[in-house]
Structure 1
């Protein structure tokens, strides 16, 4: 209930901000010449929720889209709280693209508060979802209410398998083409090019892991975000500092002791911190277990990407970083 009132307040604030800006916009429009108004075709306005999805939209949309990314790098998407600027961007967009699988639990209420009447593209449509180590079909025609009810049972970190990323960008290409049919051929060409890069990423990852003995492919991370990656490259998930796919969960004393014991008994070599989560608990567990913590610049990108402009600021760069860090640490 508190969140509903808070979103209502944001919506009201957004309306006031938009109203205050109308006079300036009218004045600017009056000063513009007819020639300049017709000179450039406006880009397709797209709001993307997460850094990964925003990067996918930029790669498929290219110069024909104007992307507003809601969640910034190293911000936890699980408990994100939208801002007035987010509501304004959504209200002005023609398309909203989400990662899906319940990752953005705040999005539906935010869209309603913004008065958005455009199209929402669920990039997860068609991905086989993990639930307790099992796969489940996720069909496009599934009812939204049923998906919301059961989303917490599925692992939302689907992009860590490049094959899922290919499904996501295909869904995005379809959404962009439907919203801007005149640019469909450009979007399709971009999809072909980017899909080839995803194939190469998958091949390179597999080749890197082929050099690591199966007995050494043991993974302990900050939270349970790498299930699809683990499944794809045949790793063993020993456990996580946060015992959940949701970062708000906490280890009990028994779970902490059990994790330390499991790290020791399995011969796990390291605990891997994540860029969007503090490493303190991981460091404490590692000290008890007598293993190293991989953190700082080598922290994994679980829920986020790196800083804009850095190699890790793209999906491809972040995933390459993850594989390089993991392989190097576990090979030693």
Structure 2
């Protein structure tokens, strides 16, 4: 059972809880993680910020993750369990930049009284082309590890403010994870440097890799869906345009994404006469992968994406 955005705007916490009890038999969303043993009750919206929260919080936090692996965050519809989890949380961590379009209404309905950590605070945001769905800018900020260093610092500050007794632990965890991000950044750069400059051209399902492209100096040829938002409509002209660009630029591959169907990417690659990267080699764009996959943590996701890109483009 799911609740639409319009319904969320009109129900209160008590009604939401009643709906949850009625829905628990058919709703696959897990119950909210209650804080036990003195741990801090945290709700994190996306797979990425949930991973960051676990790394910074360690055993001092209980993290309820709303979005599940390989679920597109752009057009998500919250469940009754999401409303209840948010209402019980002490800290809510969001990715920000308008990615969670459903969140404000859900917070109001849940009666949330805790602190909100906007992980995007202080990150320099890429701007869109003025269309409504891109008004807030490019939300895919995690594809630059240097941005993630800012994101995890925001999370650490929120945890320390909500739980001053464990502030030193959060600071230690932040330092350890920041070192891993620095190593990731260096590793990605070293791998990209192996690519011949003429081969550093990227075509993806949607415009989700702008921060990665800017950081590692790749060339963005275009995306199948010409938008930051996967819910944007795709026209026949868009398809003709991207096929023409692939041919004109000598781009070697079209990359599908794990949270999107690969059929359009496959069709465009075939029309352009290049290979398509799909299946287990799909890039993780909007979401981490399920447990046991090549993208089940942020660090693994970015390593996987880089290895696939370098291999497909001839490094």
TM-score by length of 2: 0.90
Q: Which has the larger radius of gyration?
A: 1
User: How far off its partner does 1:105 sit?
Assistant: 1.0
8 Å contact kept, 2:45–2:66: yes
After superposition, the C-alpha distances for 1:17-61 in whole angstroms (9 at most, x for unaligned) are 6899xxxxxxxxxxxxxxxxxxx7321000000000000000000
Post-superposition offset of 1:98: 0.2
What is the deviation of 1:213?
Answer: 1.5
3-state SS of paired residue (1:220): strand
| 1:165 alignment counterpart | 148
- Structural mapping, 1:257-268, within 5 Å: 257-268=240-251
Residues 151, 177 of structure 1: CA spacing in aligned structure 2 closer, same or farther, 3 A cutoff?
Answer: farther
Match of 2:106 in 1: 110
Change in 2 beyond 3 A, CA 1:283/1:17: closer
- In 1, distance between residues paired with 2:276 and 2:88? 44
1:254 aligned partner: 237
For 1:150 and 1:172, locate their aligned partners in 2 and report how far apart those are by CA, in whole Å.
26
Q: List gaps (5 residues or longer) in structure 1.
A: 21-39, 134-148
Shift of 1:195: 0.1
The CA distance in 1 between the partners of 2:123 and 2:160, in whole Å, is 20
Aligned counterpart for 1:52 among listed residues 48, 55, 71: 48
Mapped contact 2:192–2:216 kept (Cα < 8 A): yes
Which residue of the other structure, out of 288, 291, 313, is the alignment partner of 1:308? 291
1:182 partnered with 2:165: yes
CA distance in 1, matches of 2:272, 2:134: 34
For the aligned residues, what is the CA RMSD?
A: 1.9
How many Å separate the matches in 1 of 2:64 and 2:136? 29
**Are 2:67 and 1:84 equivalent residues in the alignment?**
no
What is the TM-score when the length of structure 1 is the normalising length?
0.85
Q: Is the 8 A contact 2:97 2:136 kept in 1?
A: no
* Residue 254 of structure 1: how far off its partner (Å): 1.6
Partners of 1:10 and 1:83 within 8 A in 2:
no
**Residue 280 (structure 2) aligns with:** 297
Q: Provide the aligned length of Structure 1 versus Structure 2.
A: 297
Deviations 1:105-154 (A, max 9, x none): 11011000000011110000000111159xxxxxxxxxxxxxxx996241
Change in 2 beyond 3 A, CA 1:10/1:283: farther
